[in-house]
Amino acid sequence: MKPRSPLDALFNPRSIAVIGASRHPGKIGYTIVRNLIESGYTGKIYPVNPFAKEILGLKAYPSVLDIPDEVDMAVIAVPVGIVNRVARECGEKGVKVLVVITAGFSEVGNREAEEELVKIARRYGMRVLGPNIFGVAYTPIGMNATFGPSRIRKGNIAFITQSGALGIALMGWTAMNELGLSAVVSMGNMADIDVVEVSEWLADDPHTRVIAIYLEGLKPGTGQRFIEAMKRVTAKKPVIVIKAGRTRRGAAAVASHTGSLAGADTLYSAGFKQAGILRAETVEEMFDWARAFATQPLPPGENTVIITNGGGVGVLATDAAELHGVPLLQPDNELIEKFRKTMPWFGSPKNPVDLSGQAGVDNYVAALRVAYESDKVDNIVVLYCQTAVLDPIDLAKAITDVAKEYRDKNKPLLVAMVGGIETYEAMKVLNREHIPAYPSPERAVGSLAAMLRYKRYREKLGKQGLV
């Protein structure tokens, strides 16, 4: 069972007050109430606004103190000048966690107000997320307490972000790309709750399989604690970080954005490595890897087979495998003969297993069966180049069926499809069915490589008796 944590109120509040709930569509305080309602939040929602009787059909209260119920979480979206006053009222009310949307604190040099906010929180035993954030969402309870898009695709990737605008943008982007999220957490200035504490909570969350973090920097002096705590998190589940501010100019931009210390990039790299964190170079890469971790079992071994209908993409995948340290299986004669039976005489049964451009659904299905049934094969990469003889949607459906049939084999399966709009539709089918599909062989292989790195890391911990 998950240990109790002070952050339970942030992810599982029984009731939420929105302080600064607005009567006016388009305003932040209105959008948060609307998102909570539309996302199907199962707890109680209490809009707070001294000038309103009702907001979006819900009774509004002049102050949090007037709410005739316990309040676990207060989302604060009033101007900076009144935040600390309403925070004090929250303390008197017994609120457990404040989600402070309001900007205008330390990120613009207003340190006093931020320090005062933390002091008030400490005095009353409250925790603070923010300030300067777009909110928090946790899909298992249908809670979207953000002013981002109302629709979040449910899934098991937790996304923590130090950038607000990028975070909001990626909420929409993930939904469009069939990426399911368990949680979205905007960190902002991290006056109190930080990336480490949120990661620790998510490490024990049964609805989260992988944690993806957009990180700008850590507070000075917290590096060692970050490494030690994240070691415990990565022993439980994979953590992927994209670290912004790698360059000198990027680091300067970070300082004026969230006030964090971007620091020497090499130090971050070394720290991530020590902590078992997978460092992605781009946002796309971070979510590519997260997609694989979220849907596939960890590789049971290293031996990888590539099945393709195109020699060229097979070669590109082979190059990517070598570059990323993904070992390709050298099939023995018995396996070669089995693969040979799945293809026309001019195909190639070695690895990559090239079914040829003439390949149809049956060829792919037969080759996939061989790969699943062979105990020499640990991981499978399927590549498809669009041809007029094989409809990608038919292939996607067939791959899905075979993968379901062999689910108990626990072998990761990753797919890459190269082609026109139809291949994108087919990839949607696959991704919706929890088979990670990518538009290039390199991205599929790169994602498998990340899984293998994490597998090796866990094995190392296992040898030390740490997992």
For ligand ACO (CB under 6 A), the number of binding residues is 29
Residue type, 374: S
Residue 170 makes contact with ligand ACO by CB under 6 A: no
Residue 77 makes contact with ligand ACO by CB under 6 A: yes
430 and 415 in contact (C-beta within 8 Å)? yes
Contacting residues for 432 by C-beta, under 8 A, at least 6 apart: 178
Residue 185 makes contact with ligand ACO by CB under 6 A: no
Angle, helices 195-203/223-234, rounded to nearest 10 degrees: 10
Interface residue with ligand ACO, options 31, 35, 49, 423 (CB under 6 A): 49
Interface residue with ligand ACO, options 50, 57, 220, 420 (CB under 6 A): 50
Residue 222 tokens read as 């917290």
Interface residue with ligand ACO, options 42, 54, 65, 79 (CB under 6 A): 79
Residue 27 makes contact with ligand ACO by CB under 6 A: yes
Closer by beta carbon to ligand ACO, 66 or else 281:
66
Shortest reach from residue 161's CB to ligand ACO, in Å: 9
Residue 132 makes contact with ligand ACO by CB under 6 A: yes
C-alpha span between 379 and 374 (Å, rounded): 11
Considering only residues 57-76, where is the footprint of ligand ACO by CB under 6 A? none
Residue 81 makes contact with ligand ACO by CB under 6 A: no
Contacting residues for 462 by C-beta, under 8 A, at least 6 apart: none
Choices 128-136, 285-293, 348-356, 390-398; region in contact with ligand ACO by CB under 6 A: 128-136
Choices 16-24, 233-241, 251-259, 378-386; region in contact with ligand ACO by CB under 6 A: 16-24
Interface residue with ligand ACO, options 7, 9, 10, 19 (CB under 6 A): 19
Choices 50-58, 223-231, 306-314, 449-457; region in contact with ligand ACO by CB under 6 A: 50-58
Strand partners, 128: 98
Instruction: Classify residue 140 by its DSSP letter.
Output: G
C-alpha span between 160 and 201 (Å, rounded): 12
Q: Which x/- pattern, by CB under 6 A, does the window 85-124 give for ligand ACO?
A: -x--------------xxxx--------------------
Contacting residues for 355 by C-beta, under 8 A, at least 6 apart: 307, 308, 309, 342, 343, 344, 347, 363, 364, 367
212 and 278 in contact (C-beta within 8 Å)? no
Contacting residues for 76 by C-beta, under 8 A, at least 6 apart: 19, 20, 83, 86, 87, 90, 98, 99, 100, 101, 102
Q: Phi and psi of 384, rounded to 5°?
A: -140, 130
Choices 79-87, 220-228, 347-355, 359-367; region in contact with ligand ACO by CB under 6 A: 79-87
Residue 142, SS3 per DSSP:
coil
Closer by beta carbon to ligand ACO, 103 or else 235:
103
Shortest reach from residue 84's CB to ligand ACO, in Å: 11
Residue 293, SS3 per DSSP:
helix
Residue 145 tokens read as 């307490």
Residue 267 makes contact with ligand ACO by CB under 6 A: no
Shortest reach from residue 39's CB to ligand ACO, in Å: 18
Binding interface with ligand ACO (CB under 6 A): 19-20, 22-24, 27-29, 48-52, 77-80, 82, 86, 101-104, 132-134, 164-165, 168
